[in-house]
């Protein structure tokens, strides 16, 4: 937030069916607010703060979030396509994603420890150099997602699918997988793995 301009603070409010498409929000702070069916497509959300907010059925596709702060933000059934999270405020950076589409977004070099991704589409998301220690990918589609020099210690992939992770190129101590998705760790060897036990 710019110190020269006083910010407008919204607390405990609900915003429903608001179209912010290609609009610019300036010097706003939202605390414990709920956004329902709001459209932030290509919105300029730079340097605004969202603390303890819940976004439901919202569209953030191609939103600009440089310097924006998200602390304990929950996204449920949202579209967050092509968003660059690397430019967010790193001091306010904690999320939960539930039944959301984050395809083509990037988290390059960010810290996402203990972040929950539940029932999400994460196609071609860039997790290069991301710290995903103890994160959970519950029933997530990770086709084309990039894991390179990524910290995946105690990360839970037991119900994730379509991922390709090279154990030689990532920190993976005590990462969790199921017997049914181990082929996602062996893809580079071009093995013919028969998952039938008969």
pLDDT band at 180 (very low <50, low <70, confident <90, very high): confident
What are residue 156's phi and psi, to 5 degrees?
A: -100, 105
CA atoms within 13 A on the CB side of 126: 14
* 55-79 mean pLDDT: 97
Residues 111 and 181: their CA atoms lie apart, in Å, by 25
- What's the topology of domain 106-198? Pectate Lyase C-like (2.160.20)
Which has the closest alpha carbon to 101: 116, 129, 82?
82
- Annotated domain spans of the chain: 106-198
Q: Considering the chain, what is the average pLDDT of its residues?
A: 93
pLDDT in tens, 121-141: 999 999 999 999 999 999 999
């Amino acid at each position: 937030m710019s110190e020269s301009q006083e910010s407008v603070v919204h607390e405990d409010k609900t915003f429903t069916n608001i179209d912010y498409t290609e609009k610019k929000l300036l010097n706003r702070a939202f605390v414990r607010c709920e956004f329902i069916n709001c459209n932030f497509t290509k919105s300029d959300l730079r340097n605004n703060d969202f603390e303890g907010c819940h976004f439901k059925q919202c569209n953030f596709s191609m939103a600009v979030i440089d310097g924006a702060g998200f602390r304990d933000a929950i996204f449920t059934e949202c579209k967050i396509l092509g968003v660059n999270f690397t430019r967010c405020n790193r001091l306010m950076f904690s999320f939960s994603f539930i039944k959301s589409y984050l395809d083509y977004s990037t988290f390059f070099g960010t810290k996402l420890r203990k972040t929950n991704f539940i029932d999400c589409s994460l196609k071609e998301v860039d997790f290069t150099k991301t710290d995903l220690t103890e994160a959970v990918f519950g029933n997530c589609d990770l086709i084309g997602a990039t894991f390179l020099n990524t910290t995946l210690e105690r990360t839970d992939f037991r119900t994730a699918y379509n991922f390709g992770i090279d154990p030689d190129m990532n920190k993976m101590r005590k990462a969790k997988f199921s017997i049914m998705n181990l082929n996602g760790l062996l893809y580079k060897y071009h093995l013919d793995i028969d998952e039938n036990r008969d």
